[in-house]
Amino acid sequence: MKTRFLIIALCLGGLASGESESRLDQAMAKLEKKDYVGALADLQRILEEPQPNPIVHYQIGVCQTLLGKYPEALDSFHRARAAGIDGWELWSGLGMAYFNLGENSRSREYFDRVLKSNPDHPTAHFYIGRIELKEGSYAQAEQQFRKVLALDPSHDGAFFSLGRSLVLQGRIAEGKRVSEQHRNRQHLRDRLQTLQEMASSPRAPAETFVELGSVYVELGDRKNAILALERAERLAPGTLLTSLARGKINYFEGKFAAAEKYLSQYLKLRGDACDAHMFLGLSQKAQRKVDPARESLRKALEFCPRRTSLLSNLAELEIQRKNLKEARDLADEILLLDPASPTGPFLVAVCRVYRKDPVGAEKWALQALQLNPNDPEYHRLLRHIYSAKGEPERAKKHAKQMQRLLKKRTSTP
């Protein structure tokens, strides 16, 4: 599992000057290129100079950690501290070194210190989660890994460890689902590397850049996705090749009308494209075009696997059209397809609400909440259910939870 580390920490100390500064810059450039052996050699040479910058001890510790030399890294971090370097970056380095040396309590001590200074530091949450996992506190480990993913959705280590923590709690289906998501992400990253190598050829065709852009979209890297698509359009101007990826980008950016335009264009080129129909339906749904969205999502089912996300969006549209039987059939299919997903119980609960059955709705809504306690919509539903049942205190409790989670969602960059 790859260690995440802050490589350049200018806030830890002043920069060197003259020739020493040039050597330090050279070492930092090697670090960024993952030439840890070369960087370490450069940094150790700087230590031979009179009055070397104390930050060099810290950066040597970084290199030693990344090379798996944990006792040496620990010594370097302590030398940095003795030289006057301090702060959460250094505490994080000490925490990693102690963790890899099996000193869990010392590691936790330093990562707790990091979180007091920087509560939203994903690396600290990740290592505390790994400590909880080592010590058999699987539920606590799960919460730490979920915090990491809320702060950094691309953290592969947290994805893998979350799946493991769920399996160890006996939540086998849910753990397998998370592990499958992790494998899909790894596949995308492997595909990205292959496409980047193909795109480096001066004869790379437009199709390569289109696919590269699509992979960037799936990984959430919209900036590089747009650059790849612009390159494709320069190579093949006036075609619809890039419309699918551009439609997805606009959808994720909340530009639903533009997404609808691009996706409709692409479907003129490829009428059997699963993703184009699905994202077209989602874009129309976001614009409250209920009937066109329903038609697009039903068309997507002809070409797409029957995925939870697709079925649930279609079920929501059926509920809006008061087609409760169709919505309940889709919810039942989700329950069979993915028992660990909260979406199935949530949709059943909504159907029960529409059928004026608050008792049945409560049972299913609580099941959805148990599967995912951090979705504000589940608390919103329970607030409505308890209001209908004449239980104002319980309704108020879920209203507060809903507001807290919504506030947290809007404040997260």
Closest to 209 in 3D by CA, of 237, 233, 238, 188: 233
Angle CA 4–10–15, to nearest 5: 135
Per-residue pLDDT for 201 more than 70? yes
Q: Supply the pTM of this predicted model.
A: 0.59
Report helix, strand or coil for 346: helix
Residue 5 has pLDDT above 60, yes or no: no
* Residue range 344-356: mean pLDDT, rounded: 94
Spatial distance between the Cα atoms of 228 and 196, rounded to a whole number of angstroms: 10
What's the pLDDT at 4?
45
**pLDDT value for 321:** 93
Predicted confidence (pLDDT) per residue in 41-91, tens digit: 888 888 887 777 888 899 999 999 989 999 999 999 999 999 888 889 999
Average pLDDT score over residue span 183-197: 86
Q: Are 125 and 112 in contact (CB under 8 A)?
A: no
Q: Is the pLDDT of residue 387 over 70?
A: yes
pLDDT at 10 over 60: no
Give the list of residues 6+ apart from residue 316 with CB closer than 8 angstroms, or none.
285, 327, 347
At residue 21 the predicted structure's pLDDT band, cuts being 50, 70 and 90, is low
Tokens of 19: 């020739």
Nearest CA-CA partner of 278 in 250, 311, 240: 311
Given CA atoms 111, 116, 118, 121 in this order, what sign does their dihedral have? Answer: positive
Q: Is the pLDDT of residue 250 over 50?
A: yes
Q: Does pLDDT of 6 surpass 60? A: no
- Percent pLDDT > 90 in the chain is 51
159 φ, ψ to 5°?
A: -60, -50
pLDDT at 351 over 80: yes
Question: How much is the average pLDDT of 182-208?
Answer: 88
pLDDT over 90 (residue 278): yes
Are the C-beta atoms of residues 247 and 263 closer than 8 Å to each other?
yes
Alpha-carbon Rg for the chain in angstroms: 26
pLDDT level of residue 12 (50, 70, 90 thresholds) = very low
Is pLDDT at 296 greater than 70 in this prediction?
yes
The pLDDT > 70 percentage for the chain reads: 94
